[in-house]
Chains A and B, each alone.
Chain A
Amino acid sequence: MQFLKRFITVAAVASLALASAGCGDDGGDSAGSGPVTLRYSWWGNADRAALMQKAIDLFQTKNPNIKITPSFQEYEAYWQKMATETAGNNAPDVFQMDFSYLREYADRNALYDLKKQEGDALKLDDLLEGLKGAGEVKGGLYGVPVGGNTWGYMYNPAAFAQAGVPEPKPGWTWNDYRTTVAKITQATKGKVYGGGNYVGSYYNLELQLRQEGGLLYTEDGKLGFDKARLAKFFSEGKALADAKAVLPIEKSVQIKPQHALELDLIAGEIGWDNFMARYAASTKAQLKLGPVPSDNPNSSGQYLKPAMLLSVSKKTKHAEAAAKLISFMINDPEVGKIFGANRGLPATNAQRAAVQLEGPLATVAAYEEGLKEQLTKAPPAPPKGAGTLEQAFIRIAEELQYGRISVDEAVNQFFTEVEETLES
């Protein structure tokens, strides 16, 4: 049995070695078969991929010299892959970009300045007023938005009626919001909660800050609020959780990746209005969009956020073809028809006109039209590390709702993250 002893030693060492080798992901090169081949990556699911393929086919018919090699991932995995590919000098020619990562990539010289193609291959005149210049960082143009959306209040009027609570009216305050939510929860005895805990979203803090005339991040990439302000926000959330007025965190964690509105667990939620289409697809309730609460009668703090920008890699050898593809994706009315609500409301007037508005999409369009006068300027592109900070915020807010940390601990934890992330 001596060999068994030796064998155990060898096997143990071998498993250890495997542990440290870790895992790797190689992107895989695309073989060029046509005159020009572009690699194009985006995040999304199979539904979007089917639509994307239609749009790509159309592009290839109109531009027989350009061949597109598409690939897609889920949002989180997508950014892991993009980072790895960019580091390996293997980034796709054209790829979908989120506002919170724009400066991260632009600052690190990973993106091509699209100003060089503007006017010729890339036509931007038709972009909605609020979205013009949205992809600019320090004078360069590093992304073009495909859509735009607004932070809004989505709710189920039937749940309000059932609880005997009047629907929200313009001018309602955050205090009104909290009492409304508590009333609905109470009236239905928790069968339907008034809403989720708004402390869980970074954008609700941004909304409050904008209503006060502030910003999440300043123009030069510093944090736009202090510890006391964050403590106030966290205290509001903790009070809601303690009073059991909102959907318990245990519940919202369990139902992921679904949302409570899809399962009729809550009466309403503040969130991006383009999610209306997704929620409406799963619930029978007729959802409506209403005004967001604000303590400032003169400002709702809302803005048109550039959604799903398209960027070009600095390393691309086919900048002109890449610009053509972007131009096609944002301007061509046919593409607008193909995607409908899938990417949120289109960013150009031509595509907005082309989309057949019905159901939830019509609601969103009408909502944004009604807000037109109210929408204020979009914030500057957030500093690099913003994506990490948002993740930290979500994590810390969750522990707060579980009652595992106090408001002060939560505030301190977040500011530790800020120091670590924004300094570098």
Chain B
Amino acid sequence: MTTITSTQRSEVGSTGPAGPRKRARRSGDGVAGYLFLSPWIIGILLLTLGPMVTSLYLSFTDYDLFDSPEWVGLDNYQRMFEDARWLKSVRVTALYVVLSVPVKLACALAVAMLLNNERRGRAFYRAAFYGPSLIGASVSLAIVWKAMFSDDAVIDRLLRAIGVNTGGWAGNPDFSLLMLVLLAAWQLGAPMVIFLAGLKQVPRELYEAAEVDGAGPWRRFRSVTLPMISPVIFFNLLLETINAFQVFTSAYIVGGPNGQPAGTTLFYTIYLFDRGFGDYRMGYASAMAWMLLAGVGLVTLVLFRTARGWVYYSGDKR
């Protein structure tokens, strides 16, 4: 959230008075600017770019952490497509993304719309719904989640009370992934807050005009709210998709390095981690990381392409 506001602020600054702009063009001030940027530049060179280049190199090698890396060309990339567990991890991850992102976004939007109304204790409800996201990546949360979904635990009892007998989900290969999808949906705080901000931007006149024209609540939602917040939906969709591809902590707690039960929670990141740090196949793991980058990049690109059809920016002339 802070990124949005700071970007907005800088955007406002640059369109402001021309004075500071002129000065920045003088060469001496350029150096000072880079000096101010240097902590960030050094950080990105050492902590992001350096490891990225190294991992790109390692992805073309056979590297077991002990002996020096041995160049094998595209071997690692080729092997992936013959690796049954890799294919499985891709399937599990894709299924998770396809399930968890829409569910989470729908829940976040629904809650945001509820909280957008003027009513007493609004601040409390917002905090309450945002809460789970604050402890989102925490290990303890995943442990509690697993315990809740075990045999004869809360969820099992509730379901049995209404006549559904599934047993514990944590040990059941048919339900383990669903359990993680629900965990993701529960942590809807971040997209919810962004949705809230988006809903506040929708001009009231539009609703009033629609009401005058006799539009009911559903119609107003479909024809006013959705198009007006479509940039925000798109933004949330992108971020949540990218995040969902990288789910790790909760899955590792629930399923461990083997993706228990029966490999149904073998996410891409889990398999990557296990290959690298469990089996000491760092070259293969690096290649997997770059395939993930390529895959997520491709999905993002496709999303951007489709966005032209359904995202409406109020400044655009069409």
Contacts and interface: CB of A to CB of B under 8 A. Distances in A.
Interface of A: 1-5, 7-12, 15-22, 24, 76, 79-80, 83-84, 86-87, 108-110, 249-256, 388, 391, 394-395, 398-399, 402, 404, 413, 421, 424
Interface string B7-38: 11001000000000000000000000000000
A4 B289 CA distance: 29
Question: What are the nearest 4 A-B pairs in CB distance?
Answer: A250-B171, A87-B65, A254-B171, A108-B66
Interface string B159-191: 000000001101111000000000000000000
B239 A11 contact: yes
A19 B292 contact: yes
A86 B66 CA distance: 7
B233 to A, nearest CB: 11
A15 B238 CA distance: 10
B128 interface: no
B315 A2 contact: yes
Contacts of B300: 12, 16
Q: Specify which of A1, A19, A249 lies most central, judged by the most chain B CB atoms within 10 Å of its CB.
A: A19
Contacts of B231: 1, 4-5, 8
Contact of A388 (B65, B262, B279): B279
Contacts of B293: 16, 19-20
B168 A250 contact: yes
A209 B48 CA distance: 50
Interface string B228-240: 0001001100110
B171 A253 contact: yes
Nearest to B280: A83
Interface stretch (B95-103, B107-115, B253-261): B253-261
A20 B292 contact: yes
B3 A21 contact: no
14 contacts: A8-B238, A15-B243, A16-B297, A19-B293, A21-B47, A22-B289, A24-B51, A76-B257, A87-B65, A109-B66, A110-B66, A252-B171, A253-B260, A256-B256
Nearest to B242: A15
B171 to A, nearest CB: 4
A398 B266 CA distance: 14
A76 B280 CA distance: 13
Contact of A391 (B47, B65, B167, B258): B258
Given A8-B235, A15-B242, A17-B48, A1 B262 contact: no
A110 B313 CA distance: 60
A3 B11 contact: yes
A80 B292 contact: no
Contacts of B129: none
Dominant SS at the A interface? helix
B65 A86 contact: yes
Contact of A83 (B52, B146, B277, B314): B277
Interface in B69-125: 84
A22 B65 contact: no
Contacts of A256: 256, 260
A337 to B, nearest CB: 35
B133 interface: no
B245 interface: yes
Most chain A beta carbons < 10 A, residue from B64, B171, B231: B171
Given A108-B67, A402-B173, A254 B52 contact: no
B227 interface: no
Nearest to A108: B66
Given A388-B278, A398-B261, A19 B242 contact: yes
B313 A4 contact: yes
A398 B65 contact: no
Contact of B65 (A10, A15, A84, A402): A84
Given A7-B4, A108-B64, 15 more contacts: A2-B313, A4-B231, A4-B235, A4-B313, A5-B231, A11-B239, A20-B55, A20-B290, A21-B48, A21-B52, A79-B278, A86-B65, A108-B66, A250-B172, A402-B173
Contact of B277 (A5, A80, A395): A80
B316 interface: yes
Nearest to A12: B238
B112 to A, nearest CB: 18
B226 interface: no
A81 to B, nearest CB: 9
B167 A250 contact: yes
A121 B313 CA distance: 76
Nearest to A391: B278
Contacts of A87: 65-66
Q: Which of A20, A83, A110, A394 has the most CB of B within 10 A?
A: A20
A200 B146 CA distance: 22
A110 to B, nearest CB: 6
Tell me which of A84, A109, A253, A255 has the highest count of chain B C-beta atoms within 10 A of its own C-beta: A253
Nearest to B260: A253
